[in-house]
Structure 1
Amino acid sequence: MTKLTETQTIILSAGAQRPENIALPLPKGLAGAAAKMAVTKMIEHGWLQEVDANLRRNEPLWRETGDGHGTTLVVTDAGLLAIGIDPVVVKTVVAIRQHAAKAPEAPQPTPRSGTKQAMLIAMLRAPEGATMEEITAATQWLAHTARGAMSGALGKKLGLVVTSDKEEGRGRVYRIA
């Protein structure tokens, strides 16, 4: 088994982490004749492969073929094995990511009508907003419970943005943006 240089290890490791195992861009400082020599040696070992670049997806080019097309470099299964990564694991991770990207988004929860939470939302959506005193009087919650509901249930679970402003004569006023 051939021992990898530091540059070869960096190129293969970076490519293993990119979509479709694309090895480009090469590390900073590796350009010109040095890059060509390193890549040629890696292609000879079977760790990299030149494939047609998909220009519609803006894949980086290794070289242009002269007919309006170009090639890119892809880490092969042998290249993955050379750095100690099982190609089956990489393909499984890619499949999981693609499935997660296609999965439908979970439906947003909707508050039930007639609850204290619904009352709080209505108060905060009103143009005049609501002060903490008004909220605690209407819901019969303590102030820390009302603040927790605005932060947790409204902000984190329902994705509503609650803002607060200090107004002359009223104090701090909370509103849903």
Structure 2
Amino acid sequence: MTKLTETQTIILSAGAQRPENIALPLPKGLAGAAAKMAVTKMIEHGWLQEVDANLRRNEPLWRETGDGHGTTLVVTDAGLLAIGIEPVVVKTVVAIHQHATKAPEARQPTPRTGTKQAMLIAMLRRPEGAAISEIVAETGWQAHTVRGAISGALKKKLGLHIGSERVTGRGSVYRIESDDQNAE
């Protein structure tokens, strides 16, 4: 088995800790001909592999291929074994890390029953909808409070799709157009 240099060990160890075992960026101070020589040797030993870079995920480029694409360097299973790491362990640790850093799904708030907000939702679910003046009379809120509740609490927080139309004699009539969730 070939003995690793300090530079090769650093490159492989850093790559093993990154998502998808990307070996870039190379250590500080390793550039130009020295970098090319080190990487070429590591590719020859099968410790690194040159693969197409996914520019949408901003993967670092090792070199440009001339057709608007580029390649990046990935630590292979042989490279992981060369530094004494089982490839399965690395993949498991990366999967656990990605799962741990993933933001939990936002839980949609649901209004309590018997509240003015629940009353407002019930009025907007009626086939004829509800005019601002009708909601004001039912809830005791002022007109600007009703509009704010529709815009903020119902549309933004609860994600309800509420449409409005002008109806002669009633003014603006609001109704829930599609019910993506049971928000009662």
* Structure 1 and Structure 2 fold alike (TM over 0.5): yes
**Structure 2 counterpart of 1:50:** 50
| Deviation, structure 1 residue 37 | 0.6
Counterpart in the other structure of 2:11: 11
How many residues align structurally? 107
- State the shift of 1:106 in Å: 9.2
Aligned residue identity for 2:83: I
Q: Secondary structure at the match of 2:50?
A: strand
| Counterpart-to-counterpart distance in 1, 2:37 and 2:10 | 15
* Matched residue type, 2:85: I
SS in 1 for 2:78: helix
Shift, 1:104, TM fit: 2.8
TM-score, scaled relative to structure 1: 0.57
Match of 1:92 in 2: 92
Query: How big is the shift at 1:103?
Result: 6.5
Q: Residue 49 of structure 1: SS of its match in structure 2?
A: strand
Larger Rg: 2
The residue that corresponds to 1:33 in the other structure is: 33
Counterparts of residues 83-162 of structure 1 (less than 5 Å): 83-102=83-102, 104=104
Partner Cα separation in structure 1 for residue 101 and residue 31 of structure 2: 35
C-alpha deviation, 1:96, in angstroms? 1.4
TM-score (norm 2): 0.55
Structure 1: distance between partners of 2:61 and 2:106: 38
Moved over 4 A (4+): none
What value does the CA root-mean-square deviation take over the aligned residues?
Answer: 1.6
Structure 1 gaps of 5+ residues are 108-177
Q: Unpaired segments of 5 or more residues in structure 2?
A: 108-184
Q: Percent identity?
A: 96
> Could you tell me which residue of structure 1 aligns to residue 68 of structure 2?
68
